[in-house]
């Protein structure tokens, strides 16, 4: 309950935008380029997002002396934005494509990072 309220209040617009874009994106991605759900790069997206949430939360909360809620919002927002920026960058490269599946793994890493690093800390 606490986790869902944190995610919806602070990242609601981003999450809503992702879910509105996903149905069309999946079909477009699969038509053009094979993007397996269990590829090696998916683990990298999950692990990096997870780690960056922990690092960002620690930086804002303990180094910059902010309250937990702003630190959580800052760290999750920056990491989700970085994941989106990476995919937009990939879409401009001739040997790569924008991957909504990578974004899903980024979001899963952020969610796991929020649970592990920020709840009750």
- Express each pLDDT in 11-34 by its tens digit: 666 666 655 555 555 555 445 467
The whole-number pLDDT of residue 119 equals 85
Distance of CA 116 to the CA centre of its chain: 15
pTM confidence score: 0.72
- Interatomic CA distance for residues 51 and 109, integer angstroms: 8
H-type alpha helices, the chain: 2-32, 40-58, 68-92, 100-113
**Residue 108 CB-density burial (10 A; 0-12 exposed, 13-18 middle, 19+ buried):** middle
pLDDT classification of 1: cutoffs 50, 70, 90: very low
- Express each pLDDT in 59-110 by its tens digit: 999 999 999 999 999 999 999 999 999 999 999 999 889 999 999 999 999 9
- Interatomic CA distance for residues 109 and 86, integer angstroms: 15
By residue count, the chain amounts to: 121
């Amino acid at each position: 309950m606490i986790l869902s309220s944190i995610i919806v209040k602070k990242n609601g617009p981003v999450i809503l935008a992702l879910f509105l874009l996903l149905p069309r994106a999946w079909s477009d991605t699969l038509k053009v380029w094979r993007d397996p759900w269990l590829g090696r790069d998916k683990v990298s997206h999950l692990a990096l997002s997870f780690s960056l949430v922990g690092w960002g939360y620690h930086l804002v909360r303990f180094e910059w002396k902010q309250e937990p809620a702003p630190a959580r919002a800052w760290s999750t927002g920056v990491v989700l934005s970085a994941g989106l920026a990476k995919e937009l960058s990939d879409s401009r490269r001739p040997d790569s494509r924008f991957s909504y599946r990578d974004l899903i793994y980024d979001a899963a890493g952020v969610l796991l990072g929020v649970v592990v690093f920020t709840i009750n800390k």
